[in-house]
Amino acid sequence: MSYEIVARPHQQNFIDWAKDKPEVLVLSADLTNSCEVGKWRDTYPDRFFSMGMAEQNMLGFAAGLAREGFEPWLHTFSVFLYRRPLDQLQMSVAYPSLKVRLVGFLPGIMTPGGVTHQAIEDIAIIRAIPNMTILEVGDATEAESVLDVAHKVDGPVYIRMLRGEVSRIFPTSEPFEFNTARILSTGTDLTLISSGIMTEEALRAIPLLQERGVSISHLHVSTMKPFTDPRIIAALKTAKSGVITMENHSIIGGLGSAVAEVMAENGISAPLQRIGLKDTYAHGASQKYLMAEYEMDAPALIRAVEKALGKKLNIDESELDQQRSVNVHSSAKAEAL
């Protein structure tokens, strides 16, 4: 399966979207072009504020602007929105439940920038912060339509955003819907719940699994908090042989943990396998390399399915759809990070 590749889905879309929304401002911390808002700055120079490499202060300024009725959209890499300025995120923004939008780029292991640039526990940390809403986009359609969803939330929102060359997996007629999982396939043996870029990865293996007679429900989740979608509960209840989660994040505190909580709270008894970073930091390398190294790729999903079913499926890796190689030096990105 090959998808349409959209170059810089956020860049022009965000300009068009913000046109009739004078309250929408952008605050940036020296990663403006890297976060696809350089053209936005040039289009709306009076609504763009460069805050320099000073994220703690940027969150405070955002809080003050939001208190006064503006809607600041902060653009920087995910790591810089919650690690260094965690106290500011909590006390200046989250506690007063202000309409601040944190647009975080390079979630998980998507960057060769290494451990300093890889947000691998952002969902875990931000999920524990009261009043926060967490959205994660999985394709170009969601990168475009997440704006409306975040805009409607009457409180602070953190978005795990995609940039550069992004696949369009979901048709533009099916935009991001708040707290509503996409049901990509239905089955009764297993339930797979994936998020972000892991959905595209999982979709490489699903047809082969189905060919081998595996009856699998597959849901794509894009609202990470709140995590109260009845579709998820229903899909978990149908899983006879097990549940698998797949996330571009640590398996602690993210999607896998959220699913475990829902299963426990609803008395759903099935073995749960969590695919993701297994309580480890990563390092600087390509996305493809890291996904294989940390067993977060389609072969890892097949192994998890085999374990759940207790049998070998004899799928050769050559049968898998070609994994899309993300071009680090793509002209759709401002730099090679």
Sites of contact with other proteins (CB under 8 A): 49-52, 54, 56-70, 72, 87-88, 91-92, 95-97, 130-131, 133, 153-155
* Distance of closest approach, residue 295 Cβ to other proteins, in angstroms: 36
Taking CA 82 as the corner, what is the angle to CA 119 and CA 40, rounded to the nearest 5 degrees? 85
**In 3D, which of 106, 56, 49, 45 has the Cα closest to residue 72?**
49
- The residue among 131 and 188 lying less far from other proteins, judged by its C-beta, is 131
* Distance of closest approach, residue 158 Cβ to other proteins, in angstroms: 13
* Distance of closest approach, residue 25 Cβ to other proteins, in angstroms: 8
How far apart are alpha carbons 144 and 275 in whole angstroms? 27
* Distance of closest approach, residue 54 Cβ to other proteins, in angstroms: 4
CB 124 within 8 A of CB 252: yes
* Distance of closest approach, residue 149 Cβ to other proteins, in angstroms: 14
Taking CA 36 as the corner, what is the angle to CA 6 and CA 136, rounded to the nearest 5 degrees? 70
- The residue among 85 and 138 lying less far from other proteins, judged by its C-beta, is 85
**Which amino acid does the sequence have at 68?**
E
- The residue among 9 and 72 lying less far from other proteins, judged by its C-beta, is 72
- The residue among 68 and 316 lying less far from other proteins, judged by its C-beta, is 68
What element of type H or E holds 86?
A: helix 86-88
**In 3D, which of 37, 47, 9 has the Cα closest to residue 143?**
9
- The residue among 154 and 265 lying less far from other proteins, judged by its C-beta, is 154
* Distance of closest approach, residue 67 Cβ to other proteins, in angstroms: 6
How far apart are alpha carbons 32 and 13 in whole angstroms? 16
* Distance of closest approach, residue 80 Cβ to other proteins, in angstroms: 13
- The residue among 96 and 207 lying less far from other proteins, judged by its C-beta, is 96
Distance of CA 325 to the CA centre of its chain: 19
How far apart are alpha carbons 5 and 325 in whole angstroms? 12
Residue carrying structure tokens 């294989």: 292
- The residue among 156 and 187 lying less far from other proteins, judged by its C-beta, is 156
The residues pairing with 89 across neighbouring beta strands, listed in sequence order, are none
How far apart are alpha carbons 57 and 29 in whole angstroms? 10
What is the DSSP code (8-state) at residue 25? E
- The residue among 96 and 114 lying less far from other proteins, judged by its C-beta, is 96
* Distance of closest approach, residue 56 Cβ to other proteins, in angstroms: 4
- The residue among 50 and 280 lying less far from other proteins, judged by its C-beta, is 50
CB atoms within 10 A of CB 185: 15
How far apart are alpha carbons 189 and 249 in whole angstroms? 25
* Distance of closest approach, residue 44 Cβ to other proteins, in angstroms: 12
CB 122 within 8 A of CB 77: no
DSSP labels, 216-262? EEEEEE-EEES---HHHHHHHHT-SSEEEEEEEEESSSSHHHHHHHH
